[in-house]
Structure 1
Amino acid sequence: MNDQLVARAAGVRLMIFDVDGILTDGSLHYGPDGEAIKTFNVLDGHGIKLLQQSGVATAIISARKSDIVARRATDLGIHHLYQGVHDKYAAFKQLLADTGCTEDETGFVGDDVIDLPILTRVGFAASVPNGHIEVRSRVHYVTEAFGGRGAARELCDLILKAQGNYEAALAPYLK
Protein backbone atom coordinates (compact mmCIF):
# COMPACT_ATOMS: atom_id res chain seq x y z
CA MET A 1 0.00 0.00 0.00
CA ASN A 2 1.25 3.44 -0.80
CA ASP A 3 1.44 6.13 1.88
CA GLN A 4 -1.42 8.19 0.43
CA LEU A 5 -3.78 5.19 0.45
CA VAL A 6 -2.80 4.32 4.02
CA ALA A 7 -3.44 7.92 5.11
CA ARG A 8 -6.87 7.91 3.47
CA ALA A 9 -7.84 4.58 5.07
CA ALA A 10 -6.44 5.68 8.44
CA GLY A 11 -8.82 8.66 8.46
CA VAL A 12 -12.01 6.62 8.07
CA ARG A 13 -14.46 7.05 10.97
CA LEU A 14 -17.49 5.92 8.97
CA MET A 15 -17.46 3.21 6.27
CA ILE A 16 -20.43 2.99 3.92
CA PHE A 17 -21.25 -0.05 1.81
CA ASP A 18 -23.38 -0.40 -1.29
CA VAL A 19 -25.18 -3.76 -1.42
CA ASP A 20 -25.65 -5.20 -4.92
CA GLY A 21 -22.24 -5.85 -6.41
CA ILE A 22 -20.42 -5.09 -3.14
CA LEU A 23 -21.94 -7.07 -0.26
CA THR A 24 -23.39 -9.46 -2.85
CA ASP A 25 -22.03 -10.56 -6.22
CA GLY A 26 -24.66 -8.41 -7.92
CA SER A 27 -26.80 -11.31 -9.08
CA LEU A 28 -30.52 -11.19 -8.41
CA HIS A 29 -32.29 -14.50 -7.99
CA TYR A 30 -36.07 -14.55 -7.78
CA GLY A 31 -38.00 -17.12 -5.78
CA PRO A 32 -41.30 -18.67 -6.90
CA ASP A 33 -43.29 -15.85 -5.29
CA GLY A 34 -41.16 -13.14 -6.93
CA GLU A 35 -39.05 -12.38 -3.88
CA ALA A 36 -35.44 -11.41 -4.53
CA ILE A 37 -32.87 -13.73 -3.00
CA LYS A 38 -29.40 -12.40 -2.21
CA THR A 39 -26.30 -14.20 -1.03
CA PHE A 40 -23.95 -12.58 1.47
CA ASN A 41 -20.40 -13.59 2.40
CA VAL A 42 -19.67 -14.44 6.06
CA LEU A 43 -16.08 -13.20 5.75
CA ASP A 44 -17.40 -9.79 4.70
CA GLY A 45 -19.79 -9.79 7.64
CA HIS A 46 -17.10 -10.62 10.17
CA GLY A 47 -14.85 -7.93 8.72
CA ILE A 48 -17.63 -5.38 9.22
CA LYS A 49 -18.04 -6.53 12.84
CA LEU A 50 -14.28 -6.19 13.44
CA LEU A 51 -14.34 -2.72 11.95
CA GLN A 52 -17.20 -1.72 14.26
CA GLN A 53 -15.39 -3.15 17.28
CA SER A 54 -12.41 -0.95 16.43
CA GLY A 55 -14.62 2.15 16.61
CA VAL A 56 -15.45 2.69 12.94
CA ALA A 57 -19.15 3.27 12.32
CA THR A 58 -20.76 1.44 9.39
CA ALA A 59 -23.67 2.18 7.08
CA ILE A 60 -25.45 0.90 4.00
CA ILE A 61 -26.77 3.04 1.17
CA SER A 62 -28.57 1.06 -1.53
CA ALA A 63 -30.80 1.98 -4.45
CA ARG A 64 -32.79 -1.23 -4.07
CA LYS A 65 -35.04 -1.98 -1.11
CA SER A 66 -35.13 -5.46 0.34
CA ASP A 67 -36.25 -7.03 3.61
CA ILE A 68 -33.26 -9.38 3.37
CA VAL A 69 -30.86 -6.39 3.39
CA ALA A 70 -32.60 -4.99 6.46
CA ARG A 71 -32.18 -8.36 8.14
CA ARG A 72 -28.50 -8.54 7.19
CA ALA A 73 -27.94 -5.01 8.51
CA THR A 74 -29.60 -5.99 11.78
CA ASP A 75 -27.53 -9.18 12.01
CA LEU A 76 -24.35 -7.14 11.55
CA GLY A 77 -25.33 -4.28 13.87
CA ILE A 78 -25.40 -1.72 11.05
CA HIS A 79 -27.70 0.98 12.44
CA HIS A 80 -27.49 3.41 9.52
CA LEU A 81 -29.49 1.80 6.70
CA TYR A 82 -30.72 3.73 3.68
CA GLN A 83 -32.61 1.60 1.15
CA GLY A 84 -34.64 2.41 -1.95
CA VAL A 85 -32.50 5.50 -2.38
CA HIS A 86 -32.07 6.69 -5.95
CA ASP A 87 -30.42 9.95 -4.91
CA LYS A 88 -27.58 8.38 -2.97
CA TYR A 89 -25.91 11.75 -2.44
CA ALA A 90 -28.97 13.06 -0.54
CA ALA A 91 -28.84 9.97 1.69
CA PHE A 92 -25.10 10.51 2.15
CA LYS A 93 -25.63 14.13 3.27
CA GLN A 94 -28.30 12.95 5.73
CA LEU A 95 -25.96 10.25 7.03
CA LEU A 96 -23.20 12.81 7.62
CA ALA A 97 -25.65 15.01 9.52
CA ASP A 98 -26.82 12.03 11.58
CA THR A 99 -23.29 10.86 12.47
CA GLY A 100 -21.42 14.16 12.67
CA CYS A 101 -18.75 12.82 10.31
CA THR A 102 -17.23 14.87 7.52
CA GLU A 103 -16.78 13.74 3.92
CA ASP A 104 -13.03 13.38 4.54
CA GLU A 105 -13.65 11.03 7.50
CA THR A 106 -15.87 8.79 5.41
CA GLY A 107 -15.20 5.80 3.19
CA PHE A 108 -17.54 4.37 0.57
CA VAL A 109 -17.41 1.31 -1.64
CA GLY A 110 -19.61 1.18 -4.72
CA ASP A 111 -19.57 -0.35 -8.17
CA ASP A 112 -21.79 1.61 -10.55
CA VAL A 113 -22.22 5.17 -11.81
CA ILE A 114 -25.09 5.82 -9.37
CA ASP A 115 -22.38 5.68 -6.67
CA LEU A 116 -20.16 8.39 -8.20
CA PRO A 117 -21.74 11.37 -6.39
CA ILE A 118 -20.53 9.85 -3.11
CA LEU A 119 -17.33 8.19 -4.36
CA THR A 120 -16.00 11.49 -5.72
CA ARG A 121 -16.47 13.24 -2.37
CA VAL A 122 -15.35 10.83 0.35
CA GLY A 123 -11.91 10.65 1.87
CA PHE A 124 -11.56 6.97 0.95
CA ALA A 125 -13.32 5.67 -2.18
CA ALA A 126 -13.19 2.04 -3.26
CA SER A 127 -14.67 -0.28 -5.84
CA VAL A 128 -14.41 -3.88 -6.99
CA PRO A 129 -12.67 -5.41 -10.04
CA ASN A 130 -15.96 -5.92 -11.85
CA GLY A 131 -17.25 -2.44 -11.04
CA HIS A 132 -18.07 -0.11 -13.93
CA ILE A 133 -14.93 1.28 -15.59
CA GLU A 134 -15.99 4.89 -14.89
CA VAL A 135 -16.17 4.01 -11.20
CA ARG A 136 -12.90 2.07 -11.07
CA SER A 137 -11.08 4.96 -12.76
CA ARG A 138 -12.23 7.44 -10.11
CA VAL A 139 -11.61 5.62 -6.81
CA HIS A 140 -8.58 5.43 -4.55
CA TYR A 141 -8.59 1.65 -4.32
CA VAL A 142 -9.93 -1.31 -6.28
CA THR A 143 -10.11 -4.53 -4.31
CA GLU A 144 -8.59 -7.77 -5.53
CA ALA A 145 -11.65 -9.69 -4.32
CA PHE A 146 -14.96 -9.40 -6.14
CA GLY A 147 -18.19 -8.12 -4.62
CA GLY A 148 -19.87 -10.73 -2.44
CA ARG A 149 -16.63 -12.70 -2.50
CA GLY A 150 -14.54 -10.98 0.17
CA ALA A 151 -14.24 -7.41 -1.18
CA ALA A 152 -15.80 -5.87 1.92
CA ARG A 153 -13.53 -7.93 4.18
CA GLU A 154 -10.49 -6.82 2.18
CA LEU A 155 -11.48 -3.19 2.74
CA CYS A 156 -12.18 -3.70 6.43
CA ASP A 157 -8.78 -5.35 6.90
CA LEU A 158 -7.09 -2.54 4.96
CA ILE A 159 -8.71 0.09 7.20
CA LEU A 160 -7.87 -1.85 10.36
CA LYS A 161 -4.22 -2.14 9.27
CA ALA A 162 -4.00 1.54 8.27
CA GLN A 163 -5.40 2.55 11.65
CA GLY A 164 -3.04 0.22 13.54
CA ASN A 165 -5.92 -1.91 14.84
CA TYR A 166 -5.51 -5.11 12.85
CA GLU A 167 -3.43 -7.07 15.37
CA ALA A 168 -5.74 -6.03 18.22
CA ALA A 169 -8.73 -7.20 16.17
CA LEU A 170 -7.10 -10.61 15.70
CA ALA A 171 -5.80 -10.95 19.27
CA PRO A 172 -8.95 -12.58 20.76
CA TYR A 173 -8.66 -15.35 18.17
CA LEU A 174 -4.96 -16.03 18.78
CA LYS A 175 -5.13 -16.89 22.48
Structure 2
Amino acid sequence: MAQNPAAALAPLSPNASAAERASRIKLMIFDVDGVFTDGSLYFTAEGDFMKSFNSLDGYGVKMLERIGVQTAIITGRKSGIVNARAKELSITHLFHGVQDKTVALAELLQKAGVSADQCGYMGDDWPDLAVMRRCGFAAVPANAHSEVIQRVHWVAEARGGYGAVREVCDAILRAQNRYDEMLAASLGA
Protein backbone atom coordinates (compact mmCIF):
# COMPACT_ATOMS: atom_id res chain seq x y z
CA MET A 1 0.00 0.00 0.00
CA ALA A 2 1.37 3.46 -0.96
CA GLN A 3 2.13 5.84 1.87
CA ASN A 4 0.21 9.11 1.94
CA PRO A 5 2.81 11.74 0.84
CA ALA A 6 1.31 14.35 3.15
CA ALA A 7 1.79 12.05 6.14
CA ALA A 8 5.55 12.08 5.49
CA LEU A 9 5.54 15.81 6.25
CA ALA A 10 4.88 15.56 9.96
CA PRO A 11 4.58 18.75 11.98
CA LEU A 12 7.79 20.33 13.23
CA SER A 13 8.96 18.94 16.53
CA PRO A 14 7.77 21.01 19.49
CA ASN A 15 10.83 20.04 21.57
CA ALA A 16 11.46 23.67 22.47
CA SER A 17 9.03 26.49 23.08
CA ALA A 18 8.62 29.18 20.44
CA ALA A 19 10.14 31.76 22.81
CA GLU A 20 13.17 29.56 23.47
CA ARG A 21 13.64 29.06 19.73
CA ALA A 22 13.26 32.80 19.06
CA SER A 23 15.86 33.58 21.74
CA ARG A 24 18.52 31.84 19.59
CA ILE A 25 17.78 33.75 16.38
CA LYS A 26 20.78 35.42 14.76
CA LEU A 27 19.22 35.57 11.28
CA MET A 28 15.55 36.12 10.48
CA ILE A 29 14.43 35.23 6.96
CA PHE A 30 11.19 36.30 5.30
CA ASP A 31 9.20 35.37 2.23
CA VAL A 32 7.56 38.40 0.58
CA ASP A 33 4.17 37.69 -1.03
CA GLY A 34 1.69 36.88 1.72
CA VAL A 35 4.16 37.84 4.47
CA PHE A 36 5.44 41.39 3.85
CA THR A 37 2.42 41.90 1.57
CA ASP A 38 -1.16 40.70 1.66
CA GLY A 39 -0.36 38.51 -1.33
CA SER A 40 -2.19 40.70 -3.83
CA LEU A 41 -0.46 41.68 -7.05
CA TYR A 42 -1.75 44.76 -8.84
CA PHE A 43 -1.04 44.60 -12.59
CA THR A 44 -1.21 47.50 -15.02
CA ALA A 45 -2.29 47.12 -18.67
CA GLU A 46 1.40 47.31 -19.59
CA GLY A 47 2.19 44.29 -17.43
CA ASP A 48 3.87 46.20 -14.60
CA PHE A 49 2.83 45.28 -11.08
CA MET A 50 2.75 46.88 -7.67
CA LYS A 51 2.85 45.64 -4.10
CA SER A 52 1.84 47.29 -0.85
CA PHE A 53 4.06 47.11 2.26
CA ASN A 54 3.22 47.86 5.90
CA SER A 55 5.36 50.51 7.63
CA LEU A 56 5.04 48.75 11.02
CA ASP A 57 6.60 45.65 9.48
CA GLY A 58 9.49 47.72 8.17
CA TYR A 59 10.22 49.24 11.55
CA GLY A 60 10.19 45.78 13.14
CA VAL A 61 12.88 44.64 10.70
CA LYS A 62 14.96 47.72 11.49
CA MET A 63 14.71 46.95 15.23
CA LEU A 64 16.01 43.41 14.66
CA GLU A 65 18.97 44.81 12.81
CA ARG A 66 19.64 47.27 15.65
CA ILE A 67 20.05 44.40 18.11
CA GLY A 68 22.38 42.51 15.76
CA VAL A 69 19.93 40.07 14.17
CA GLN A 70 20.68 39.78 10.46
CA THR A 71 17.71 39.83 8.11
CA ALA A 72 17.09 38.18 4.76
CA ILE A 73 14.48 37.70 2.09
CA ILE A 74 14.09 34.50 0.09
CA THR A 75 11.32 34.80 -2.49
CA GLY A 76 10.34 33.11 -5.70
CA ARG A 77 9.34 36.28 -7.55
CA LYS A 78 12.02 38.61 -8.93
CA SER A 79 10.97 42.20 -8.52
CA GLY A 80 12.52 45.65 -8.54
CA ILE A 81 9.89 46.58 -5.96
CA VAL A 82 11.24 43.98 -3.52
CA ASN A 83 14.81 45.06 -4.26
CA ALA A 84 13.90 48.68 -3.45
CA ARG A 85 12.09 47.73 -0.22
CA ALA A 86 14.95 45.49 0.92
CA LYS A 87 17.43 48.30 0.28
CA GLU A 88 15.25 50.82 2.12
CA LEU A 89 15.10 48.50 5.16
CA SER A 90 18.83 47.64 4.97
CA ILE A 91 17.94 43.95 4.76
CA THR A 92 21.28 42.17 4.88
CA HIS A 93 20.64 39.41 2.33
CA LEU A 94 18.26 39.28 -0.64
CA PHE A 95 17.53 36.20 -2.73
CA HIS A 96 14.75 36.77 -5.26
CA GLY A 97 13.68 34.87 -8.34
CA VAL A 98 14.51 31.70 -6.38
CA GLN A 99 13.26 28.36 -7.73
CA ASP A 100 14.52 26.17 -4.85
CA LYS A 101 14.46 27.97 -1.51
CA THR A 102 16.54 25.26 0.21
CA VAL A 103 19.44 25.97 -2.17
CA ALA A 104 19.17 29.68 -1.33
CA LEU A 105 19.06 28.81 2.39
CA ALA A 106 22.27 26.78 2.16
CA GLU A 107 24.04 29.68 0.43
CA LEU A 108 22.61 32.14 2.94
CA LEU A 109 23.79 30.11 5.95
CA GLN A 110 27.31 30.12 4.55
CA LYS A 111 27.26 33.85 3.78
CA ALA A 112 25.77 34.78 7.16
CA GLY A 113 27.99 32.43 9.16
CA VAL A 114 25.14 30.94 11.17
CA SER A 115 23.62 27.49 11.62
CA ALA A 116 20.06 26.62 10.58
CA ASP A 117 19.19 26.35 14.29
CA GLN A 118 20.03 30.05 14.68
CA CYS A 119 17.67 31.04 11.85
CA GLY A 120 14.04 31.94 11.81
CA TYR A 121 11.83 31.88 8.75
CA MET A 122 8.42 33.43 8.16
CA GLY A 123 6.50 32.12 5.16
CA ASP A 124 2.90 31.41 4.27
CA ASP A 125 2.57 28.65 1.68
CA TRP A 126 3.85 25.26 0.54
CA PRO A 127 7.00 26.58 -1.21
CA ASP A 128 8.18 27.72 2.24
CA LEU A 129 7.77 24.38 4.05
CA ALA A 130 11.14 22.83 3.18
CA VAL A 131 13.02 25.90 4.44
CA MET A 132 10.86 26.16 7.56
CA ARG A 133 11.61 22.55 8.45
CA ARG A 134 15.34 23.31 8.38
CA CYS A 135 15.24 26.50 10.49
CA GLY A 136 15.22 26.60 14.28
CA PHE A 137 12.18 28.88 14.40
CA ALA A 138 9.30 28.80 11.90
CA ALA A 139 6.56 31.43 11.87
CA VAL A 140 3.53 32.31 9.74
CA PRO A 141 0.99 35.12 9.36
CA ALA A 142 -2.55 34.34 10.53
CA ASN A 143 -3.75 33.81 6.95
CA ALA A 144 -1.09 31.29 5.93
CA HIS A 145 -2.20 28.07 4.28
CA SER A 146 -3.64 25.65 6.85
CA GLU A 147 -1.07 22.92 6.06
CA VAL A 148 1.72 25.38 6.80
CA ILE A 149 0.11 26.64 10.02
CA GLN A 150 0.06 23.06 11.33
CA ARG A 151 3.83 22.76 10.89
CA VAL A 152 5.26 25.87 12.56
CA HIS A 153 6.31 27.03 16.00
CA TRP A 154 4.57 30.43 16.03
CA VAL A 155 1.48 31.96 14.36
CA ALA A 156 0.91 35.73 14.21
CA GLU A 157 -2.47 37.21 15.02
CA ALA A 158 -2.10 39.61 12.07
CA ARG A 159 -2.44 38.70 8.41
CA GLY A 160 0.39 39.03 5.92
CA GLY A 161 0.84 42.66 4.88
CA TYR A 162 -1.03 43.86 7.96
CA GLY A 163 1.56 43.67 10.73
CA ALA A 164 2.49 39.96 10.88
CA VAL A 165 6.18 40.73 10.29
CA ARG A 166 6.14 43.31 13.08
CA GLU A 167 4.55 40.76 15.43
CA VAL A 168 7.28 38.21 14.83
CA CYS A 169 9.98 40.87 15.19
CA ASP A 170 8.46 41.94 18.52
CA ALA A 171 8.31 38.27 19.61
CA ILE A 172 12.02 37.88 18.85
CA LEU A 173 12.86 41.11 20.69
CA ARG A 174 10.92 39.84 23.73
CA ALA A 175 12.52 36.39 23.60
CA GLN A 176 15.96 37.99 23.48
CA ASN A 177 15.07 40.35 26.37
CA ARG A 178 15.52 43.47 24.24
CA TYR A 179 11.90 44.63 23.76
CA ASP A 180 11.66 46.75 26.93
CA GLU A 181 15.05 48.34 26.24
CA MET A 182 14.03 49.28 22.69
CA LEU A 183 10.68 50.65 23.89
CA ALA A 184 12.38 52.69 26.66
CA ALA A 185 14.75 54.19 24.08
CA SER A 186 11.78 55.20 21.93
CA LEU A 187 10.16 56.83 24.97
CA GLY A 188 13.35 58.83 25.54
CA ALA A 189 14.08 57.07 28.82
- 1:4, CA displacement in angstroms? 1.3
The one-letter amino acid of 2:118's match is: E
Aligned counterpart, 2:34:
21
Residue 146 of structure 1, aligned match among 154, 159, 173:
159
Q: Is 1:12 matched with 2:25?
A: yes
User: CA offsets, 1:53-112, max 9 Å, x none?
Assistant: 011000000000100000000000012000000100000000001011101000000001
Counterparts of 1:1-175 in structure 2, within 5 Å, are 4-175=17-188
Structure 1 CA distance, aligned partners of 2:46 and 2:111? 36
The one-letter amino acid of 1:11's match is: R
Structure 1 CA distance, aligned partners of 2:19 and 2:109? 22
The one-letter amino acid of 1:55's match is: G
User: CA offsets, 1:11-52, max 9 Å, x none?
Assistant: 000000000000000000012321110000000000000010
- 1:153, CA displacement in angstroms? 0.1
Unaligned runs of 5+ in 1: none
Structure 1 CA distance, aligned partners of 2:112 and 2:92? 11
- In percent, how many aligned pairs have the same letter? 51
The one-letter amino acid of 2:105's match is: F
The one-letter amino acid of 2:46's match is: D
TM-score between the two structures when normalised by the length of structure 2: 0.89
Check conservation: 1:13, 1:106, Cα contact below 8 A.
yes
Unaligned runs of 5+ in 2: 1-15
Structure 1 CA distance, aligned partners of 2:78 and 2:31? 12
Higher alpha-carbon Rg: 2
User: CA offsets, 1:130-162, max 9 Å, x none?
Assistant: 111111110001110000000000000000000
Runs of 4+ that moved beyond 4 A: none
Structure 2 CA distance, aligned partners of 1:167 and 1:134? 34
TM-score between the two structures when normalised by the length of structure 1: 0.96
Structure 2 CA distance, aligned partners of 1:153 and 1:79? 17
Structure 2 CA distance, aligned partners of 1:50 and 1:128? 19
- 1:6, CA displacement in angstroms? 1.1
C-alpha RMSD of matched pairs (Å): 0.9
Structure 2 CA distance, aligned partners of 1:12 and 1:78? 15
